[in-house]
Amino acid sequence: MRRKVLVCGGTGCVSSRSREVYDALESELAGRGLGEQFELKYTGCHGFCEQGPLVLVEPEGYFYCRVTKEHVAKLVDSLQEGSVYEDLLYKDPDTGNRVKTRNDVPFYQKQKRLVLKNCGLINPESIEDYLNAGGYRTLQKVFKMSPDAVIDEVKKAGLRGRGGGGFPTGLKWEYARKARGDKKYIICNADEGDPGAFMDRSILEGDPHRVLEGMLTAGYAIGAGEGFVYIRAEYPLAVRRLDIAIKEAREKGFLGENILGSGFNFDIHIKQGAGAFVCGEETALIESIQGNRGMPRPRPPFPAVKGLWDRPTVVNNVETLANLPIIFDMGAEAYAAIGTEQSKGTKIFALTGKIKNTGLVEVPMGITLREIIFDIGGGIPNGKKFKAVQIGGPSGGGLSAQHLDLPIDYDSLIDAGAMMGSGGLVVMDEDTCMVELARFFLSFTRMEACGKCTPCREGNTRLLEILERIVEGRGELQDLDLLESLGHTIIDTSLCGLGQSAPNPVLSALKYFRPEYEMHVKNKLCPAGVCKALLSYRIIEEKCKACGLCLKHCPVGAITGKKGEPHRIDPEMCKKCGECLKKCPFGAIVLAGGDGFGQGQSDHKRNHVSRTQALYNLKSGGRERH
Amino acid sequence: MCVVEVKGARKLMAACATPVSDGMEVLTESDRVINARREILRLLIANHDLRCLTCERNGDCRLQDYCYRYKVEDTPYKGEVIEYPIDTNNPFFIRDYSKCIRCGKCVTVCAEINGAYVYDFMHRGFETKVTSAYDDTLQETTCTFCGMCVNVCPVAALVEKSTLWAGRPWEIKKVTTTCPYCGVGCQLKLKVKDNRIIGVAADRSGPNLGDLCSKGQFGWDYVHSPDRLTDPLVKRNGKFIKVSWDEALNYVAARFKDILNEWGGRAFAGLSSAKCTNEENYLFQKFMRSILQTNNIDHCARL
Amino acid sequence: MTNSINEILETDVILVIGSNTTEAHPVTGYRIRQAVQNGKKLIVADPRKIELVKYADLWLRHRPGTDIALLNGLAHVILRDDLWDKQFVAERSEGFEEFKKTVAKYTPERVAEITGVEAGLIEQAARMYGKAEKATIIYAMGITQHASGTHNVMAVANLAILTGNVGRPGTGVDPLRGQNNVQGACDMGCLPNYYPSYQPVDDPHVQSNFERFWQAKLPQEVGLTVTEMTDAARQGKIKCMYIMGENPVLSDPDGNRVVEALQALEFLVVQDIFLTETAQLAEVVLPAVTFAEKNGTFTNTERRIQLVRKAIDTTSSAKPDWQIIIELAQKMGHFWQYPGGPEQIMEEIARCAPLYGGISHHRLEKGGIHWPCPTPGHPGTAYLHADGFARGKGKFHSVEHVPPAEEPDEEYPLLLITGRMLYHFHTGTMSRRSHLEELRSEELAMMHPQDAEAYGIKDKDRIVVESRRGKVTTRVQVTDFVPPGSIFMTFHFKETPTNVLTIASTDPICKIPELKVCAVKIRVPFPGQARRHPESFSCH
Ligand SMILES: Cc1cc2nc3c(=O)[nH]c(=O)nc-3n(C[C@H](O)[C@H](O)[C@H](O)COP(=O)(O)O)c2cc1C
Ligand code: SF4
Ligand code: SF4
Ligand code: SF4
């Protein structure tokens, strides 16, 4: 058997120059005449982006991290020898031991990679690879069943939408199947607008045929003849691989007329979106495909009844669709055995933030946050303390240490004030300020609203402005109540999921980190030391040797002190330029949360003059002519 | 503003977009609803040019009306207020988007009734603006100046130029009448102040159901044209001179009688007008037939 | 109209022929567009690429003046493919056999030859119209203003009867009237052959009724139509004209002849709100007031009678037309008394015009009423012929295609089509004195790019358009709105009095002038110059 050398071609590794590694390996192998012995592949994402570029050697399973082209020559030596290239093996940060194979790496040990099974192992640009890995096999099964039976199977499996809402997929299909329409459509939602999320992209880049197979299954079940993949234009690699996959599938007869002799016709087209967050919302997405401004419309009628061009349409997320081949492969019962009572199967998370092992992980539903963050993610770097985790991106909520042992599924997260969302998971350590964090998410969402609903359009900006006030030390106690009541109104009165979830980061933070907010407002203190305006330069008396250097260098004369006694900084006058800190030879000056004070008047002045002039210039009354 | 509470529903629902179902229990003025509406109003006025004193819609403004109804006097949200320059480029109305509440009504009439698709929502989030494509002046768009957007705008974002500084809404008398242009016969309301027409408002009672075109909406100012005939004219030596009604009518009557006596009814012909009222047309043909003794009557019906 | 405007929303298929609805009758245009948006089918038959073409399922671009051939062709296919309403035809029509014979000759292939529309398209359109549960035909001056105007209208009616599209909501044939009260003027008997309510003047019984009612002796013979009047005046047969609120110098065909005729009169009285081109030729001009200064009623194109209400007082000595006529009658020695004004006049109308029998201003306060409305308790009639035609049964009229009176030839190689545009109205007397003028202040003759290229003409160039009867200058807009070989002009601009070009040959039955088409040639006075110095040609 030929040995395989798999170079990760996921976006993470590509940006750490895995292509160079691949090219170098190729020429090196060819140069040594080893091209026949080794099968070199450029694959989809392995998930462990933190350690990229990654190279996997099969069948031994040697797992090399942070490979650069300089390593290539030695790497090929080891390949030739059949030995292990120790230096490139993963080093367990706790024990300091080198780990030989991928399965021994703790990052992979607790995962359950079903959807991501092929990612990193096959060449996503080759349908042969996918077929060899068992791809398109389930279609034979599906086409032998009646569409109703297919829907029943999905219901039995308990699959719920991975796009955020968690709506039971089988039920959605049933509505669409029952709805009348001369045509029906399947849409694969690959908009993935959450900043920090990249699971859909990784699936499409690493295993695009899996998604096509899922779409075919869905299409067969509801009686659709056409499918669309709505994908953001910022994912050029995914678009390209998908495009290749569709072409290959057409050539092999998996798309087109009378697929596998079943009499079922189905074709798939790619629609590229401009990448507005709200276009991921299903009704806005449909508008966008129809060539209109991506603006949500009220539901009902649901797309399953009246969607694309007013015809019954199922919108499913990439990951949802990618689960289907698994269900029909292992059977609904086996699938339903994974996960919790109400949430079945696995979920992919994108681990980012203050965590050692950033990357893509697939875990069974019901796993605890602790397992994800500490066992898989390797915990918090630099010995810092875990503070919070934001799940579900800008629409999700922040959870605190008290939730570490919460088994996560759709419902437990909602109960805790967060949501699954698309699966972004941002970990925060003690240096993160929760007010600042909420501010960050709102500054994103407030510019993403489509503008239709007043609460979402105007309200999120007001939430942001209040948070800015707090961050700048001008907050008042009633601001916290205002945040809460306004947040709830926005959720209560907005039309679509964006407005209904935009205040989540603030509200959950207020719920779990209220003391931190109060500190900002009452004591003008930022415990995490993040909010600039609330920090001040102070001289630690014990350390001050009264050398006078700082006094001399302060450009505004804010420092006083006589010879022999510790100097002082007048916080009112200090401009926070930091000169003194740089100059102090004894490290006696620190920047610390303290008795901050208001700063930076950001009230917007109204510019009346030009407007009024414009009005006066118009003649009044019934105008004269001739 | 259209949110209502539906028993059993998790959140408030948009009344305009939620189909009624059997047994649905809807509360239109519950505390929860009222609170939500107040909050929305506070948000709206927080980003609005609130100089009501001289606003053309003062007293005839839906935003004012609702603030009054729900007792919203002020807003706790003092922050950014977006200011837009006023567009005064077209001959008929101004577009003052600092007063726009982004209700989208103009977008809807323009697209669904006129079919011109001039307006849409532009930009995103807080900066969303409802305007023409690329914010162009309307002459550069497919706009037909039917003015229906002006008529549906609930605030002073779209205002006829002719009504600017011409009177407070409560001083303006509205007279329902029929458009003098084409044969559709649209009903409209003339806005009158100090015996001058200053604009047109929609009227829903006629065949047009409130819709109008540019002629009906903006084509009325010929009424006040200085070219209007003011006195009877008689031509003497090739030039018109003003005369009194008595003189003019006596002269016409005398000439009519002469011609009638000399040549009889066949020497007369009359053209009546498709722009005059039924009553006038009736009298005209009665005059021609019974007094001038002729059936030589026609009008431009065939044109 | 047999049916009302908003019924357009209920119909399944709309056939628009000879009507640029979105410009000439905008609000009706909105309804057609809305209907299409709601999934209704639209067929447009027009030589011009009018706005509605954008929304149409089918567009039949037939040659101007070939409407009958086209309509007969549609009927042919409907009969051939067995899509006609046999029960309706049997029970409620007559003349079918002859009609069938006539249209048998109009095979799609032959019609294609005459009209220039592909045979396949004609078949598609026929099937679309024929299969519809409810279909309506909308037409306007585009088909009436032809030498064959009456026949055109009959051909339209034939199609509706053949498919049983009469007498139900959302069906019918709907002519759109050009001006606000054309319908009313006709209803009121401002026609040479009818008293109010279409009672024939040559019926002795009717005549004696009116003699009693008006207490006057009345003439017996049918009078002259506008075009005939012009001839009679030029021949000296008519000595005196009284013109109320019309501007025939610009609106009537062959304008130069109209001027000659008016100048030949012994005495001309014109009553108007402005000193129009016609008024300038008068000996006496009587100042009238606008719609905003008087009470009364207008009847719209769907036969709906609606109130006109006085909104402002007249600031000069001008008077409402009705008052001027009354005073003139009094000066003539007749005892005309209408102290109740228009309201009282309407009472009199109701007594002598059965269609208006139930109309009073009081009733109209609550909203317009469609005639026929014979009695005060009658609700009015939104759609006609619900249970029968006025003349008992709907009659098929066998009509044949006749070529237009004047066709392009070597000397006058282009076809001139005339019509209206959105921002102006009629001869521009009113609309051009409003701010609408700012949107459009001069004529732009439309020419197809092919022709423009052949003549070396560019957009905005100035040209002279000349027919056998006169010539005008205008600027050009190059557009595929018009078919090759023709140019389109309006009659809104006195600087470009298009009607001096048009031909006064009239429809033999209805005497509608052939305004729509005539042959012209063009010259380019200063080739290319207009482009270099556009401002030197501005109108002001
Ligand atoms: C503001 C907003 C953004 C969304 N973005 C996405 C997205 O990027 N990808 C996605 O699959 N679903 C997104 N959704 C959810 C979709 O509306 C929809 O529920 C989902 O595509 C349905 O697929 P599923 O049932 O397979 O989850 C978004 C929803 C909202 C309200
Ligand atoms: S909630 Fe926000 S994004 Fe959603 S429809 Fe309303 S304004 Fe648009
Ligand atoms: S109708 Fe007026 S307030 Fe509403 S969106 Fe349009 S301009 Fe703004
Ligand atoms: S508003 Fe326009 S469509 Fe309506 S009657 Fe007047 S001119 Fe005709």
In angstroms, what is the span from residue B89 Cα to ligand 1's centroid?
42
State yes or no: pLDDT of A614 exceeds 60.
Answer: no
Q: So what CATH class is B47-75+88-224?
A: alpha beta
Q: What is the CATH number of the domain that holds A319?
A: 3.40.50.11540
Q: What is the mean pLDDT of residues A144-151?
A: 94
Question: How far is B128 from chain A, CA to nearest CA, in Å?
Answer: 5
Atom of ligand 4 minimally distant from the CA of B212: 1
Q: What is the mean pLDDT of residues A463-480?
A: 90
Does ligand 2 have an atom closer than 6 angstroms to the CB of A450?
A: yes
- A540 or C240: which leads in pLDDT: C240
Where exactly are the structural domains of chain B?
A: 47-75+88-224, 233-300
Question: For the segment C440-493, what is each residue's pLDDT rounded down to a tens digit?
Answer: 778 888 889 988 888 888 888 888 898 888 888 888 889 888 888 888 888 788
Residue-wise pLDDT tens digits, C75-120: 999 999 988 888 888 888 888 888 888 889 999 999 998 898 999 9
CB contact under 8 A, A614 and B83: no
Grade residue C390 by pLDDT with cuts at 50, 70 and 90. Answer: low
- Quick: pLDDT tens for C29-48: 999 999 998 889 999 998 88
What residue in C sits closest to A626 (Cα-Cα)? Answer: C433
Which atom of ligand 3 lies closest to the CA of B107? 6
* pLDDT above 60 (res C535): no
Query: So what's the pLDDT on residue A601?
Result: 34
- Chain B contact present for A402, CB below 8 A: no
**A164 Cα to the center of ligand 1, angstroms:** 6
> Closest residue of A to B21, CA-based?
A300
**Closest approach atom of ligand 3 to CA B95:** 7
Kindly list the strands in the beta sheet with A397-400, ordered across the sheet, starting from the edge strand earlier in the chain: A359-364, A346-353, A424-429, A386-391, A397-400
Contact B46 A448 (CB under 8 A): no
Amino acid C121: pLDDT: 92
Strands, E assignment, C372-432: 394-395, 414-419
Say yes or no to pLDDT of B186 above 50. yes
Which phi and psi (to 5°) does residue C475 adopt? -95, 165
Q: What local confidence, expressed as pLDDT, does residue C481 receive?
A: 86
Q: Is A187:A219 a contact under the CB 8 Å cutoff? A: no
Q: Are residues A591 and A557 in the same domain?
A: yes
Please name the amino acid found at residue A153: E
Q: Which residue has the tokens 């977009």?
A: B17
Q: B225 and A626 in contact by Cβ < 8 A? A: yes
| CB contact (8 A) between residue A625 and residue B102 | no
Atom of ligand 3 lying closest to residue B101 CA: 3
pLDDT of B11-20, one tens digit each?
Answer: 888 877 777 8
| Choice among A478-487, C35-44, C405-414 with the minimum mean pLDDT | C405-414
Tell me the per-residue pLDDT of C368-379, one tens digit each, with 9 for 90 and over: 999 889 989 888
Instruction: Name the maximum alpha-carbon separation found in chain B.
Output: 91
Beta carbons within 8 Å of C159's beta carbon, 6+ residues apart: C15, C71, C74, C75, C78, C129, C137, C165
Domain that holds residue A545: 532-625
* Residue in the structure block whose two tokens are 């650069």: A68
Bigger pLDDT: A318 vs B11: A318
Q: Does the structure show a pLDDT above 90 at A11?
A: no
Q: Tell me: the pLDDT tens digits for A55-114? A: 999 888 889 999 998 999 998 998 888 888 888 898 888 788 888 888 888 888 888 888
pLDDT for residue B59:
92
CA distance C258 to C84: 46
Share of chain B above pLDDT 90, in %: 67
B265, C292 contact by CB (below 8 A): no
Cα–Cα distance between A435 and B5 in angstroms, integer? 32
Q: Evaluate whether C219 touches B293 at the Cβ level (below 8 Å).
A: yes
Q: How far is CA A27 from the centre of its chain?
A: 36
As a whole number of angstroms, the distance between CA C455 and CA C119 comes to 32
Nearest-CA distance B142 → chain A (Å)? 17
Q: Say what the pLDDT of residue B175 is.
A: 95
Tokens read off for C536: 């030197």
Interatomic CA distance for residues B18 and A287, integer angstroms: 19
Averaged pLDDT, B142-153: 93
- pLDDT at site A605: 37
Any A CB within 8 A of C540 CB: no
Residue B175 dihedral angles phi and psi, to the nearest 5°: -115, 120
Based on the fold, state whether residues A164 and A263 are members of the same structural domain.
yes
Q: Which atom of ligand 2 is nearest to the CA of A450?
A: 8
Question: What is the pLDDT averaged over residues C125-148?
Answer: 81
Q: What is the SS3 assignment for C16?
A: strand
Instruction: Please confirm whether the linkage preceding B180 is cis (ω < 30° from 0).
Output: no
Q: Is C366 exposed, middle or buried (0-12, 13-18, 19+ CB in 10 A)?
A: exposed
Chain A residues inside the 8 Å CB shell of C434:
625
C266-313 pLDDT, tens digit each: 999 999 999 999 999 999 999 999 999 999 999 998 899 999 999 999
A67 and A171: one domain? no
CA distance A620 to chain C (A): 15
Residue A294 with chain B: CB contacts under 8 Å: none
Residue among A584, A598, A591, A312 nearest A473 (CA): A598
Domain membership of residue A474 (yes or no) is: no
Secondary structure in 3-state letters for A28-45 = HHHHCCCCCCEEEEEECC
pLDDT at A561: 86
Do A31 and A176 belong to one domain?
A: no
Show the 3-state SS of A128-190.
HHHHHCCCCHHHHHHHHCCHHHHHHHHHHHCCECCCCCCCEHHHHHHHHHHCCCCCCEEEEEE
* A447 inside domain: no
Burial per residue of A270-300, b for 16 or more beta-carbon CB atoms within 10 angstroms, e otherwise: eeebebbbbbbbbbbbbbbbeeebbbbbebe
Among A470, A472, A489, A605, the residue to mutate for chain B (most B Cβ within 10 A): A489
Mean pLDDT across A498-513: 91
From chain C residues 400-459, the ones with a CB under 8 A of any chain A CB are 433-435
Note whether B224 and B162 are within 8 A (CB). no
Structure tokens at A505: 């980061």
- What value does the mean pLDDT of chain C take? 85
To test the pocket of ligand 4, the residue of B176, B177, B179 to mutate (highest count of ligand atoms within 8 Å of its CB) is B179
What is the CA(B2)–ligand 2 centre distance, in A? 15
Give per-residue burial for C404-416: e unless 16+ CB within 10 Å, then b: bbbebeeebebbb
Mean pLDDT for A16-32 is: 89
Q: Best of A315, A323, A420, A500 to mutate for ligand 1, by most ligand atoms within 8 A of CB?
A: A315
CA-nearest residue for atom 6, ligand 2, is A453
% of chain C beyond a pLDDT of 90:
38
Distance CA C6, CA C302 (A): 10
**Stretch C338-360: mean pLDDT:** 94
pLDDT at site C513: 56
**Mean pLDDT for chain A overall:** 86
B-C interface: how many C-beta pairs under 8 angstroms? 449
Does the global pTM surpass 0.90?
A: no
Is the CB of A189 within 6 Å of ligand 1?
A: yes
CA angle C206-C208-C211, nearest 5°? 110
List, in sequence order, every beta strand (DSSP E) within A309-402: 313-317, 346-353, 359-364, 386-391, 397-400
The ipTM estimated for the assembled molecules is: 0.89
Residue B100 has pLDDT above 60, yes or no: yes
pLDDT-derived band at C145 (thresholds 50, 70, 90) equals low
Alpha-carbon gap, residue B122 to A594, rounded angstroms: 44
Residue C324 backbone phi and psi in degrees, to 5: -60, -45
For A558-591, what is the HEC assignment? CEECCCCCCCEECCCCCCCCCHHHHHCCCCCEEE
Neighbours of A598 (CB within 10 A): 12
Return the CATH number at A559.
Answer: 3.30.70.20
Distance (Å) from the alpha carbon of C435 to chain A's nearest alpha carbon:
8
Are residues B259 and C287, on separate chains, in Cβ contact within 8 Å?
Answer: no
- The 10s digit of each residue's pLDDT in C416-438 is 888 777 677 766 777 777 777 77
Give C185 to chain B, closest Cα distance, Å: 6
Give the pLDDT confidence of B150-175 residue by residue, as tens digits: 999 999 999 999 999 999 999 999 99
Considering only CB atoms, which chain C residues are within 8 Å of B189? none
Closest ligand relative to A282 C-alpha = 1
Highest mean pLDDT among A597-601, C144-148, C333-337: C333-337
Instruction: Say whether both A273 and A351 belong to one domain.
Output: no
User: Is the CB of A449 within 6 Å of ligand 2?
Assistant: yes
Side chain identity, residue A267 = D
Residues with Cβ within 8 Å of A70's Cβ and at least 6 positions away in sequence, in order, are: none
CA distance B226 to chain C (A): 9
Cα A384 from Cα B108, distance rounded (Å)? 55
The tokens for C139 are: 């037409």
Query: Got the DSSP string for A502-522?
Result: TTHHHHHHHHH-HHHHHIIII
Of B197 and A299, the structure prediction assigns the larger pLDDT to B197
pLDDT, position C386 = 64
Pick the CATH number of C5-176 from 2.60.40.1930, 3.40.50.10490, 3.40.228.10, 3.40.50.720: 3.40.228.10
| Rounded mean pLDDT, B233-238 | 92
- For residue C443, the model assigns a pLDDT of 83
- Dihedral of alpha carbons A545, A549, A553, A558, sign: positive
CA–CA dist C59, C81 (Å, integer) = 21
Strands B187-193 and B173-178: antiparallel
Residues in C closer than 8 angstroms to A182, CB to CB, are none
Q: How far apart are CA C499 and CA C426, in angstroms?
A: 12
Give the model's confidence band at A420: pLDDT under 50 very low, under 70 low, under 90 confident, else very high.
Answer: confident
Q: What is the mean pLDDT of chain B?
A: 91
CA nearest to C38 within chain A:
A310
CA distance C203 to C194: 10
Condensed to tens digits (0 to 9), the pLDDT of residues B113-135 reads 988 889 999 888 898 999 988 88
Q: Which residue has the higher pLDDT, C401 or A620?
A: C401
With the CA atoms of B28, B31, B34 and B35 taken in that order, what torsion angle do they form, in degrees rounded to the nearest 10? -150
Q: Ligand 2: does its nearest atom lie under 6 Å from the Cβ of A446?
A: no
Q: Which pLDDT belongs to residue A461?
A: 93
Q: Is A452 in the pocket of ligand 2 (CB under 6 A)?
A: yes
Q: What are phi and psi of C518, to 5 degrees?
A: -160, 170
Among the partner residues B112, B115, B207, nearest to C300 by beta-carbon distance: B207
Contact A426, A354 (CB under 8 A): no
At B84, the pLDDT band (50, 70, 90 cuts) reads very high
A118: in domain: no
Judgement on whether residues A383 and A311 belong to the same structural domain of the protein: no
**Cross-chain residue pair A623–C433, CB shorter than 8 Å:** no
Does residue A242 sit within a domain?
yes
Ligand 4 atom closest to C28 (CA)? 3
Residue A278: CA count within 13 A, CB half-sphere: 33
pLDDT of residue B249: 95
Residue A229 has pLDDT above 80, yes or no: yes
Pocket test for ligand 2, best of A191, A277, A278 (most atoms within 8 A of CB): A278
Does the beta carbon of A162 lie inside 6 Å of ligand 1? yes
Q: What is the pLDDT of residue A620?
A: 42
Question: What pLDDT was estimated at residue A606?
Answer: 35
Are A246 and A132 within one domain?
Answer: yes
Number of domains in chain A: 4
Domain ranges (residues) in chain C: 5-176, 178-222+295-308+339-375, 414-523
Residues A271 and A134 in one domain: yes
Whether residue A40 is predicted with pLDDT greater than 60 in this model: the reply is yes
Instruction: Report which secondary-structure segment, H or E, holds A385.
Output: none
* C145 secondary structure, DSSP code: S
CATH class of this structure's domain C414-523: mainly beta
Would you give the end-to-end CA distance of chain B in angstroms? 50
CA A92 – CA A90 distance, rounded (Å) = 6
The residue behind tokens 């959302």 is C170
Give the number of the ligand closest to the Cα of residue A297: 2
Residues of chain B neighbouring C318 (CB-CB closer than 8 A): 228-231
Å between B191 CA and nearest CA of chain A: 10
Is A391 a member of any domain? yes
Averaged pLDDT, A466-486: 90
Distance CA B229, CA A5 (A): 97
Q: Which subunits have 3 or more CB–CB pairs within 8 Å of chain B?
A: A, C
